[in-house]
Amino acid sequence: MINNCNRNRIAVLSVLFSLFFLIVSGCSVKLISDYDEVIDKSVTELQKKVEAFLIKMEGSAGSSEGEYINNRSFYNEANVEMSAIRLRAEAIPENKITVQHINEIEKNFENLRLLHEKRGQKGLTKDLTDPIKVILNIQFKAILTLEFAKKRGK
C-alpha cells in the first residue's frame, strides 16, 4: 500500500513537472521592444542633417556664415527632432536602451552647440568637426544597429 502511494505521488509529480516545463517552454519572454521603422528613418534623416551641417560649418569657419549666431536655428530644429524621436522611443515599452542612446546623442549635441557658441566668429573648423562627427556617428549607428537587430528578431 505504501509503495502504491509513493508510486502515485511520483507519477503525479512527474506529470506536474512535465506540464510545468511544457508551459514554461511555450512562454516567450520579451526583453526588448520590436523594430520601429519611424525611429529608424528619423534617426537616419537626423544623422544626414547633422553630417551636412558639420560639413557646411567646416567650409564656412571664420566667416559670418559659420558663426553660431547665424546657425542657432539649426540647433533648435535638431533639438526638436531629437525630442520627438526620444518621446516616441519612450512611449514604446521595453525600449530603454534606445532611449539611453538618444539621451547620449542629445548630450553630445548640446556639447557641440556650446562649443560652437563659445568659438564665436571662429566657427567650427575641420579639426574640431572630425572627432565630433565620429562620436555622433557612433551613437547614431548604435541606435540603427539596435533597430536592425530588432527587425531581425535578435
- Rounded to whole angstroms, the Cα distance separating 62 from 109 reads 21
DSSP percent split of the chain into helix, strand, coil, nearest 5: 85, 0, 15
Percentage of the residues of the chain whose pLDDT score is greater than 70:
82
Residues of the chain with pLDDT under 70: 1-6, 11-13, 15-30, 154
Residue extents of the structural domains in the chain: 1-30, 37-152
Enter the pTM of the model.
0.79
Residue 22's pLDDT is what? 56
Q: Give 70-105 pLDDT, tens digit per residue.
A: 999 999 999 999 999 999 999 999 999 999 999 999
